[in-house]
Structure 1
Amino acid sequence: MKNLGYIKNDKLFTIKSDWKGTPIDKNNRFMNHEFPFVPKLSDVLKWSFERNPQKDEKKADAFRLIHKDDKTFLKHDRDCLIWLGHSTFFLRLNGVNLLIDPVFYKIPLVKRYADHAFSPQLFSNLHYLLISHNHQDHCQEKSIREISALNPGLTILSGLSMENLLAPWSKGTTVQTAGWYQQYQTSDELAIYYLPSRHWSKRSLNDTNRELWGAFVFQTKEKTIYFSGDTGYGSHFKEARKLFPSIDIAIIGVGAYKPDWFMHVNHISPQDAVKAFHELGAKIFIPMHYGTFDLSDEPVGEPVRLLKDFAKQNKINGELKLLDLGENWLL
């Protein structure tokens, strides 16, 4: 698979001096710059029919996320981070309120282990809504429509070509899309950047890789936070560290990684997430993308058990912070 061109948003600043733009193939589909990927139906069918060696263990796993009904974030203006489930977060930095990858409801054909921590109606004072990519477990039409209606002055930040999907769901809002290594136009209080991830995109039969996927970096004078989005392992973690050498918090996915032959190209295991955390050089590791939806073969509680074991064995060079759903974590 060969890239034939590069694309970016010419209105936005590119922070990597030697970066030509996000690569596209001959069909104008976006490509991972390191590991190009287009899903194969044969692989999906193979996974669907093969035996899960952990089937019984998965069925017996009683792990469930803890819910905390802590709405104190509505009464203060301090910097905070709240995990709402899967990859959905509320983040406040320098008085700027953000919601990331909102999925408050069930998604088709997927079991949901944990309900959303709070109702979307609580989030009526947002400045930015961020969508890492277009998959159903990160980009939910109903959630986006409700959040947009509650926040008429909202700006939505996402990847290139996502405006085609998001604009009809969010009439009256501004949709700003970036290529990899580009900085969004935001308020002076907070800088937001879009970086590469190793993934793909699809919502319908003929739109594979037509809309870009990626990671976010949030930066103030005091803090730098990295949000991985969905990603397989790659050199993009080391590249992020070169541009952001003082990352305070890294929010990285740790679930949906089995079977490895099928999942590793698009998701990372807890082991590789720790490796990515070290390569980012971050101080605090916050896992996400686990315990909420049944997307893969591993037992629901396996990611947490592995991470706790790594921490006990001093294999994590930094702080492991396992957030409860709805926990008001002050930064």
Structure 2
Amino acid sequence: MKRNPYFDPTKPHHRPGGFQNNYLEFREKRWHELLRWRWGAWRKGEPKPPKDSIPVVEPDLAFIHANAKAGMAMAPAITWVGHITVLAQIGGLNFLTDPVFSERCFPVQWAGPRRHTPPGLRLAQLPHIDVVLLSHNHYDHMDEGSLLALAKQAGGPPMFITPLGHKAWFERHGIHGVIELDWWDRHMIHATEQNARIPIVLTPAQHWSARTATDALRSLWGGFAVLSPDCHLFFAGDTAYSKDFADIRQHFAIDHAPGLGGGFDIALLPIGAYEPRWFMRDQHCNPAESVQIFKDLGAKQALGVHWGTFQLTDEALDEPPRALKKALAAARVGEQRFFVLPVGGTRRLTPRL
């Protein structure tokens, strides 16, 4: 087994050959489990076709681009580009989560899952992106074409912040200066005015990584906390439900004291790609578990992402919002607190304090 160059024996999630989860040891599914999944889906005729079209709106480009140039007068806002990709405008900076603009999420663009909805903003419509937050290396999150295009954007490349083990991939593609973080590492970035410093923290998630057939668990995965003065944002990346989210709330308890503005102002939480549960529950949460993550975090609001774009699993493409609505009612959480947006839709957020 190839040795993990980042291995630290004092850290429980480190292994000599890679990384692991905190609360559940991930193992790759065996061939007979994959066969059972695909056979079961075929017998039941799944995934079912969508009952409704995925909602899409024209992006508010006038607001997005004016806001992008507003510096510290920027209004905190999020725009759902589609799937896991969100443009977050906070702290005078433009952040992009797991940018996926390609037609397919696969090693090649002539095969694999195809987009059912176009990106809410095309690459050419984006404002200048300051920071890209990359959660892990699966193809529906780490999209080569999108990352290379962003590295060539007018005005210079964004800062790419990733979990451990991704820098070599970027350097092979001519992208340098990538920031790698371990779980709980805190990297400080500077906003454009008043020398404001914004901490970005890599947080644990229960998931896994693989880019090829031979590199499973060699790179780390995770979510991000962005502690901007005007908005504390949490991005979960891909994850199953675990005790990690109660740990995250505890970790940021001092930052989120009531006198400092309370908990995360917005959490970007996955609500799709969860069926069948026997196969997916150790790597993807369903909407009910997403609601529990929301409660564990103590966040003020959440946006449901990771749905409506690629048919990755057995639930219908439009099912996650319906399941989310039921889960919110069962948990007595208002739909105004945990919401979905149309592709291309923007939600302006109340500034912190």
Normalising to structure 1: TM-score of the pair?
Answer: 0.88
1:183/1:194 contact within 8 Å kept: yes
Distance in 1 of aligned mates of 2:228 and 2:252: 12
Q: Confirm or deny that 1:192 pairs with 2:200.
A: yes
RMSD: 2.3
Q: Which consecutive residues of structure 2, in runs of 5 or more, have no partner in the other structure?
A: 107-111, 191-195, 254-262
How many residue pairs match? The answer is 316
Equivalent position SS for 1:110: coil
CA contact (8 A) 2:46 2:314 kept: no
- Which deviations, in whole Å up to 9, do the C-alpha atoms of 1:242-280 show, x marking residues without a partner? 122412211110101100000011000001110111111
Q: How far does residue 127 in structure 1 lie from its aligned partner after superposition?
A: 1.6
> 1:261 maps to what in 2?
278
SS in 1 for 2:36: helix
SS, match of residue 202 in structure 2 = strand
**Separation of aligned partners in 1, 2:105 and 2:187:** 29
How far the C-alpha of 1:101 sits from its partner, in A, is: 0.3
Q: Is this contact kept in 1: 2:287–2:327, CA < 8 A?
A: no
1:200 touches 1:266 (CA, 8 Å); kept in 2?
yes
| Cα displacement string for residues 10-44 of structure 1 (whole angstroms, at most 9, x for unaligned residues) | xxxxxxxxx94362334x21111211112123222
Whichever residue aligns with residue 25 of structure 1, its letter is R
Which of 83, 87, 108 lines up with 1:90 in the alignment? 87
1:44 corresponds to which of 34, 39, 43: 34
Structure 2 equivalent of residue 226 of structure 1: 234
In 2, Cα distance between the equivalents of 1:61 and 1:112? 17
Q: How does 1:1-331 map to 2 (within 5 A)?
A: 7=7, 20-21=10-11, 23-26=13-16, 28-42=17-31, 43-51=33-41, 55=45, 58-59=48-49, 61-71=51-61, 72-76=63-67, 77=70, 78=74, 79-105=76-102, 106-108=104-106, 109-123=112-126, 125-150=128-153, 151-171=155-175, 173-187=176-190, 188-245=196-253, 246-312=263-329, 315-316=332-333, 319-331=337-349
Among the aligned pairs, what percent are the same residue? 27
Instruction: Note the alpha carbon deviations across 1:131-172, whole angstroms, 9 max, x for none.
Output: 10000000100000000100524211000011011223353x
Contact preservation (8 Å) 1:99, 1:128: yes
Distance 2:145 2:157 in 1: 18
**Secondary structure, counterpart of 1:146 in structure 2:** helix
Q: Please say if residues 47 and 313 of structure 2, whose CA atoms lie closer than 8 Å, have aligned partners that are also in contact.
A: no
CA distance in 2, matches of 1:330, 1:184: 26
**Contact 2:23–2:242 (Cα < 8 Å) also in 1:** yes
| TM-score normalised per structure 2 | 0.83
Q: CA deviation at 1:207?
A: 0.6
Distance 1:102 1:22 in 2: 30
Kept in 2, the 8 Å contact 1:21–1:180? The answer is no
Give 1:14's aligned residue.
Answer: none
CA contact (8 A) 1:217 1:224 kept: yes
Q: Is the alpha carbon distance of 1:238 and 1:313 closer, same or farther for their aligned partners in structure 2, counting shifts above 3 Å? A: closer
User: Would the aligned equivalents of 1:196 and 1:236 in 2 still touch at CA under 8 Å?
Assistant: yes
Q: How many angstroms apart in 2 are the aligned matches of 1:22 and 1:121?
A: 42
